[in-house]
Structures are given as C-alpha cells and as structure tokens.
Amino acid sequence: MYQTDSNPDISLGDELTVIVLKGKGDSIISRMKDGRVILFNRENVLFNELEPGMTVKAKVSFIAQNYIIVDPVEPPERGNEAIKLGLKMVAETENWENAMMANALLYIIELLEEEN
C-alpha cells in the first residue's frame, strides 16, 4: 500500500488512503513509504471489491515490524485520484528516469484538470 501522508509512524486506528497493488500470485497488497507491506483484512466486507489500481480509505487494525494489516472503511475508487496516487508513488522512487516520467504525467494531468 502506498500511504498518502509523509509520516511513517502508524498507530492502531489510524486512517489512510492507499493504492491497491498486485502482490504475488493473485494476492493484493500495498506498501508504506518505509517499505513495509500493507495487507488487507480478507474478512472485511469490502475485500472482494479491491483490485490493483484502485485507491481505498482504510483503518490500521494490526501492526508488525515488517507489515501492517488494514481494514477498508469505504468502497474503493478508480479514476484520476488512483492514477495520480500511483504516479506520486513512482515519482518518489530512486529510479530517476521513472520519477521524471511520473512527474511529467502528473503535470499534464494537472494542466488538463485546470482546463476543465
């Protein structure tokens, strides 16, 4: 999962918006900015609606050293916000070529949004 705020310190009950990513096999995950994996509670009623490329608001329900588990609290969303969150995630990587491309695409999206 990708957390939208810049604070890597997470507490139980915190809510954050994350992007759903494809994990190994058919699994879905997300990532924290500090590299920890975010897992989604499979028993949550919204779990079956989650697909890679969506964003979802979730509440932290378990914290371990290398991962956290979250419970979706709202239906997941697709569209521009999910795309922009994914691009922001790529823009913060150490691969400068991918970061430059992501920033360019974000800039174009913002220009198009201003026109509408």
1 belongs to a structural domain = no
Q: Which domain holds residue 55?
A: 15-72
CB–CB of 62/37 below 8 Å? no
Residue 23 has pLDDT above 80, yes or no: yes
**Which CATH number characterizes residue 42's domain?**
2.40.50.500
| CA atoms in the 13 A half-sphere facing the CB of 23 | 14
9 belongs to a structural domain = no
43 belongs to a structural domain = yes
Tally of domains in the chain? 2
Residue 7 has pLDDT above 60, yes or no: no
The secondary structure of residue 8, as a DSSP letter, is -
Same-domain status, 27 and 68: yes
The average confidence (pLDDT) of the chain is 87
pLDDT tens across 49-63, in order? 999 989 999 999 999
**What gap in Å lies between CA 85 and CA 93, rounded to an integer?**
13
What value, to the nearest 5°, has the Cα angle with vertex 42 and ends 18 and 80? 25
111 belongs to a structural domain = yes
Same-domain status, 21 and 58: yes
Q: What is the pLDDT of residue 8?
A: 56
Same-domain status, 21 and 67: yes
Same-domain status, 37 and 65: yes
CB–CB of 38/67 below 8 Å? yes
**What gap in Å lies between CA 35 and CA 40, rounded to an integer?**
16
Amino acid identity for residue 34 in this structure? D
53 belongs to a structural domain = yes
